[in-house]
Each structure stands twice: as structure tokens, then as C-alpha cells.
Amino acid sequence: MISIYAPASIGNFCVGFDSLGVALAPIDGTLLGDIVHVEAAEKDQFSCIGPYAGKLPSEAEENLAYQCLVHFREHVALDMPPVSLVLEKRLPIGSGLGSSACSVVATFAALNKFAHTALSQEALIELMADFEGKVSGARHYDNITPCYLGGLQLTADLVPNKAMSLPVDEAWYYVAAYPGFALNTAKARAVMPDSISSHDSVEFAQRLSSYCLLMQSARFDEALALMQDTMAEPYRQGLITGYSDAKAALPELGAELVSISGAGPTLFTICKTLNAAEQCQAWLRQHYINEHGFSHICKLDNQGTRAISLGAKS
Ligand SMILES: Nc1ncnc2c1ncn2[C@@H]1O[C@H](COP(=O)(O)OP(=O)(O)O)[C@@H](O)[C@H]1O
Ligand SMILES: N[C@@H](CCOP(=O)(O)O)C(=O)O
């Protein structure tokens, strides 16, 4: 059996709406992401298990992982033997942690490994983005490529091979806090304006290009100082109960940055010490997260999507 793990991701990463994203690795070793198991079977079979399986439509046809299997069989690997595909749904839906991307990436990566196709990495990424686009309201790569490749990725159609990896300050900690309610990505995209002024687009381009060059030059503190979300946060923060309070409170506890993860409602902080990350996490547990939510202190996941053994930590 092939078991493929795909990690949670933070889309936009504050300064790169639809163009920048990171993959997350909780420091306690928790596998924060979806897992897909594939093995040969007598005929194609699909099932969905795991803590969030019950939050997905019960019909297989409505599950992205099943749709990926059907597409793969009909358009990519026509002679692939029948498979049993099990999606272990471990990320909440509509969380801002790239949940749909996780299922799509894990499924295509597992099938690709099983069928030994000759698909290029870029072709696979494009295929993944097609399916992510089906549910999120627009085609964007900022969950897909960090989830697949790991690390911090600048990622868009205009970027060579769809993705370029950027270096990061390995000392930074990221606290990701999912408050326990869903916010549909398509809905969070719909509150954004259809167009922005030339002033705002020039500022966005200056900020993102400077950020990337500073990160590439290992001038991490200067890059951090530029991290401000002028594009999505002004429109989305009102959809996320408690976000404004967290944004006001956490810098006092040592957060260098508080921003929305993807379309929300998960928020993330960047902290320079473990102590500051722990203090932020304690505040978030008390003030931001309900009984269905969770938080993790993370580093970046530099491995991305990968095969795991079944004894891996859950
Ligand atoms: N395997 C899957 N994982 C996540 N979402 C799925 C999956 N299959 C179907 N969906 C549907 O896709 C939509 C994903 O919503 P979205 O807000 O884009 O989630 P996220 O932001 O967590 O990726 C939901 O309507 C959900 O029911
Ligand atoms: N760039 C997208 C990212 C959506 O991420 P998700 O985890 O909320 O699906 C956006 O901001 O809409």
C-alpha cells in the first residue's frame, strides 16, 4: 500500500495574495494534513475516513479526492489497474489551512506514484490547481505548491514552472489557530472587490517584489517588517469573529505579525522565540478558539507531500 501525507498550508502568506504560501509542520510532530492510501483492488473503490470525514458530502461523487481518481483514470493513466483509494480527512473544511488542496495534492501524488506516470512536476501542479479551483471560486496555486513542494513558495502562472522556492529564517515560529468554525473560501473571495486602484496595485507589487528579494537575500527582519496585508484582510476581517481582538492583543505577547491564514478563519502569528509562541498560543486558546478549534506551534514543513509509514505519529 502507498500512503501519502500532504501538509496544511497558509495561502497568501500575508503579502502575496494568491501568489505566496507556506507549508506547516507542528513542532510536536503532529501530522497536520490529509493522508491518502492507495492499493491495488479488484475494482475501483473509494472511502473517506478520519476526524473530518463526516463534514464532507456523503456522496463519493462530491468528494474532491474521488473526482481526482476519476479524472486520473479517464485522462492521465488510462491503463492503471483498479485501486482502492482511502482519503483520511484530517483537516477541517473551510479552515484557511488549505484543506481542499491537501486532499487534491495527496490524491494525485498517491495515484501518480502508484501508476508511475511520466507527468512532469509542472503538469501535475497544473492538474492539482484545476481541481482546487473547482471549489474555491478561482484557480490559485498558493496552497497547492507549498503543500506539494514544502517550504515558502512564490507561485503563479507567471512564475517559471509555476513555483519558486524562497529561503526562510529557520528560527521563526508560526502559531496557527483554527477557531473552530468554517469560512467557505468562495464566500471569502466574494467579499473582495472585483478590481483595485492603480495606487493599490502598485503598492501590492512593490511590497511583494521587495519581500521576495529580501527573503532571497536572507534579510529576513526587513522582509518581516514589510508584512502587511492590504489586499484581503480589510475585506475579510469582518467575517472572522475575534480576529481584530487577536490582532490587537498578540503583539503585546511577542507576536511579530498576526495575519489571516488563506481565506480564514485560521489566523497565524510569526514569533521569534518559542516562549513568545507559547504565550500567543495560550491567549488564542483562551480568547479565539472554541471547543471545535485547535492551535499548533509550527515550523515550516520543508518536505512537502511525501510517503509515510502507517506507524507515523497522528
Ligand atoms: N476532500 C475534500 N476536502 C475538502 N473539501 C472538499 C473535499 N471534497 C469536497 N470538498 C468540498 O469543497 C469545499 C471546500 O471548501 P473551502 O472553503 O474551499 O475549503 P478549504 O478552504 O478548507 O480548502 C467544501 O464545500 C467541501 O464540501
Ligand atoms: N489565495 C486564496 C487562499 C485560500 O486558502 P484556503 O486555505 O482558505 O482555501 C484566498 O485567499 O482566497
- pLDDT, greater one: 133 or 313: 133
DSSP-derived secondary structure letter, 13: T
Give residue for cell 507567471: 158
pLDDT > 90? residue 239: yes
Closest ligand 1 atom number to CA of residue 67? 8
Q: Is 304 in the pocket of ligand 2 (CB under 6 A)?
A: no
Q: Is 12 in the pocket of ligand 1 (CB under 6 A)?
A: no
The x, y and z cell numbers of residue 125, run together, are 501542479
The x, y and z cell numbers of residue 257, run together, are 505579525
DSSP-derived secondary structure letter, 134: H
pLDDT in tens, 171-181: 999 999 999 99
pLDDT > 60? residue 312: no
**CA–CA dist 109, 112 (Å, integer):** 5
Complex prediction ipTM? 0.97
Mean pLDDT of the chain: 96
**Domain assignments of the chain as residue spans, ordered by start:** 2-166, 173-300
146 touches 155 (CB < 8 A): yes
SS3 letters across 244-270: HHHHHHHHHHCEEEEEECCCCCCEEEE
DSSP-derived secondary structure letter, 269: E
Partners of 11 in beta bridges: 21
pLDDT in tens, 89-136: 999 999 999 999 999 999 999 999 999 998 999 999 999 999 988 887
Which are the contacts of 248, defined by CB distance < 8 A and separation ≥ 6? none
CATH fold for the domain made of 173-300:
Alpha-Beta Plaits (3.30.70)
Indicate the range of 29-38, 118-127, 135-144, 202-211 predicted with least confidence.
135-144
Q: Is 284 in the pocket of ligand 1 (CB under 6 A)?
A: no
Separation of CA 124 from chain center: 17
Cα(103) to ligand 1 centroid in Å equals 9
Q: Residue 34 — very low, low, confident or very high, per pLDDT cuts 50/70/90?
A: very high
The x, y and z cell numbers of residue 12, run together, are 497568501
Q: Is 95 in the pocket of ligand 1 (CB under 6 A)?
A: yes
Ligand with smallest separation from the Cα of 93: 1
Cα(104) to ligand 1 centroid in Å equals 10
**Mean of pLDDT values over 243-271:** 98
Question: How far from 257 is each of 223, 271, 285, 298, CA to CA, in Å?
Answer: 12, 7, 18, 14
Core vs surface per residue 42-79: b (16+ CB within 10 A) or e: eeeebebebebeeebeeebeebbbbbbbebbbeebbee
Give residue for cell 504560501: 21
The x, y and z cell numbers of residue 91, run together, are 483537516
Q: Residue 149 — very low, low, confident or very high, per pLDDT cuts 50/70/90?
A: very high
pLDDT > 60? residue 314: no
Q: According to the model, what pLDDT value does residue 72 have?
A: 97
At residue 101, φ and ψ (nearest 5 deg) are: -60, -40
pTM of the model: 0.96
The answer regarding whether domain 2-166 maps to CATH 3.30.230.10 reads: yes
Q: According to the model, what pLDDT value does residue 210 have?
A: 98
